[in-house]
A and B are shown apart, each in its own frame.
Chain A
C-alpha cells in the first residue's frame, strides 16, 4: 500500500523477536522515501526500540551473522543495505522476512 508520503511494508519477524517486542503476527511499518533493507529495519527499530541490536549490530549496523533477510522466495541477506527491495514488497504483496538462520544439528 503506497500513498503520497509513505509506503507501508509488511514485515515478519522470527518468534523470539516477536516475543521480545510483545507482538503477534506480521507487522507493518511506514517507509518514507525509497524502500530499502536499511529503511525497513530503521523503521522496525524505531517502532520497536527493544529490537535495537538484535537484527543488526549496534555499533556497525551490519546484519548479525545468524540473521537472514528473505523476500519473494529470494535470500536478500547479502544485498547492499541501500538496494531497493522487490516491487512486490513495496506494494505490500509480499512480506519482508527476518529469519533466524538454521544452525545446529
Chain B
C-alpha cells in the first residue's frame, strides 16, 4: 500500500509526518535538529530515501543535512556556498549598494533528472548546484551576474532565491523566483538567464513595468504544461501561458490577492491553490478565517475551502514554501502555519484536518508519495 511522508521545516527543527494512502492517521517524528531553523526539507523524486535539509542558525551559520534512509538518520554534507567570481553589489533597503553576502539556504530542489544533482536557492539571491549529492556546491553565477543584478533589492524577509522549478523533460530549462527581484528562466542549464516579469505590476516600485524589482512570493507549474506557470506575487495572483513571456492577473474573486504560497493540483493542471492573507502589514487571514482557495479554471474563479479549518480568531500566516500536494489518486493538499499547525486534505481540499497543532512556526512543507 502506498504511503505518505510529509517533511516539515520549522523555526526549531524538522519533523516527519507519516501516514498511509488514507492519510487520516499520522505518526509524528521529530524534532530533528532541535533548536535550529530548518528552512526547507525535500526528498529526491528519483530516490525518495534521499532527503536534504537546510539547517541554519544566526549563531552557527548554514549546514546542509542529507539522509539516505528517508529521514531516519542524517549526516552533514557540504556547506561552502562561495559566490563565483566578482561578488558585486545590489540595492539595499535605503537605496545604497551593498556587496552580495551569503546568509542562508532557503530552498533545496533535488533534480528531476539525476539523483545526485540538487539545486540550492540562497540569500543573498543566487543559485547553486551540486552534482555529488550535496558535498560540493558551485554557483550558477550567470544569474547573480545578470545585467540587472545591481538593481535587485531585498524584500522584508531578505533577498532570497526561494523557488526553483524544473522543466519535466529538459534539464537545461529552469525557472527561479527571487524576492524582490522577480522571476527568471534559463534554457542553457543556468549559464544565462532572462528576467520574465512582463505583465507584473507592483505598486511598491516606481516603474510598474520594470524588468526587475517585483516581489514574487512563489511560483508553481504542472509538469504536463511546463509553459503554464502560476505565481503568487506580493499582491496579485498571476498566470503565464508562454513560459513567462507575458503574465496576466488571475486574482479574480479572491478576498485578498496578497499571500505567499501557491500550488498546483497533482492531476488537474488548471486546479490551483492559494491562501489569501489580508495584507503585507497584517500577515494574517482576512476576518480571522483561515481559508485556502481553489480555482479549477486556472485562476479568476476561486472557491473558499473551509471545512475543517478554523473560521474564527485565526491570525496565523502561511509562508511561501509551506504548501505542497501529494501524488495519490485522490490528491492530498498540505500547508503549515506560523502557529505550528500542519493541515492536510486527502480530497483535493474539500475537507481538512490538522495533522499536528503545536509545532514551532512552520517554514516549509513538502510531501513524498511513496510506493
Contacts and interface: CB of A to CB of B under 8 A. Distances in A.
Given A16-B35, A16-B36, A59-B82, A67 B76 contact: no
Interface in A60-105: 64, 66-67, 100-101, 103
B79 A100 contact: no
Interface in A40-60: 50, 52-55, 57-59
A17 B35 CA distance: 11
Question: Interface centre among B33, B63, B80, by most A CB within 10 Å?
Answer: B63
Contacts, number: 41
Contacts of B35: 16
Contacts of A67: 59-60
**Secondary structure type dominating chain A contacts:** loop
Nearest to B58: A66
Interface in A1-25: 14, 16-17, 19-20
A55 B63 CA distance: 12
B244 to A, nearest CB: 33
**Secondary structure type dominating chain B contacts:** loop
B194 interface: no
B62 interface: yes
B248 to A, nearest CB: 43
B76 A103 contact: no
B117 interface: no
A66 B61 CA distance: 10
Question: Interface centre among B36, B59, B62, by most A CB within 10 Å?
Answer: B59
A17 B82 contact: no
B79 A55 contact: no
Nearest to B81: A58
A50 B63 contact: yes
Nearest to A104: B58
Contact of A54 (B33, B61, B80, B82): B61
A101 B58 CA distance: 10
A59 B76 CA distance: 19
Given A20-B76, A52-B79, A64 B63 contact: no
B351 interface: no
Contacts of A59: 82
A28 B215 CA distance: 49
A58 B82 contact: yes
Interface of B: 33, 35-36, 57-63, 76, 79-80, 82
Given A53-B61, A53-B63, A58-B79, 11 more contacts: A16-B60, A17-B60, A19-B33, A20-B76, A53-B79, A54-B60, A55-B60, A58-B80, A66-B58, A67-B59, A101-B59
17 contacts: A17-B60, A19-B33, A20-B76, A50-B76, A52-B79, A53-B61, A53-B62, A54-B60, A57-B61, A58-B80, A58-B82, A59-B82, A64-B60, A66-B59, A67-B59, A67-B60, A100-B59
